[in-house]
Amino acid sequence: MATITHAREAVIQTLYAKELGNDDAINQFDELLKERKIKGQKAEFAKKLLNGILEHINEIDEIIKNHLIDWSFDRLDKVDKQILRTGIYEIKYTDTPYQIVIDEAVKIAKNFSEDKSKNFINGILDKVAKEVRENK
């Protein structure tokens, strides 16, 4: 049975495919959800998440850039970039508790990224969450 984590993974996979140059990735999202058996509220969550990230991608990318130390945005691992985009969108624009967002992002990084990525992602998302809480 598909979980909310699977819904997030489908979003990250779609963003990753788009980043690699698959211009049809967004149009193929519904099909990906069907293949992964992501239905109902989880599918709606995934669609809102993907559309929200795409709507705010420039602002999200600026947040990422502002948190990179001695590293350029262009050198970021493409999977890590999509995990960060997803996490930052959720922290900034949804009511999902930031602890859940960070835990999910780290879990996804453990499965799809290099071992060192989970600490990197955790650190950036934690800083973003702190900034968002301070500005509320």
> Quick one: pLDDT at residue 135?
86
CATH architecture of the domain 4-134 equals Orthogonal Bundle (1.10)
Provide the residue ranges of all domains of the chain, joining segments of one domain with +: 4-134
> Phi-psi bin for 83: left (phi > 0), alpha (psi -120 to 50), beta?
alpha
What count of residues does the chain have?
A: 136
Write out pLDDT tens, residues 21-48.
998 999 999 999 999 999 999 999 999 9
DSSP 75-89: GS-HHHHHHHHHHHH
Say if residue 9 is exposed, middle or buried (CB neighbours under 10 Å; 0-12, 13-18, 19+).
buried
pLDDT by residue (tens digit) across 80-90? 999 999 999 99
Cβ contact 6:36 at 8 Å: yes
Report d(CA 49, CA 7) in Å as an integer.
9
3-state secondary structure of 95: coil
- Residue that the structure tokens 């420039």 belong to: 58
- The average confidence (pLDDT) of the chain is 95
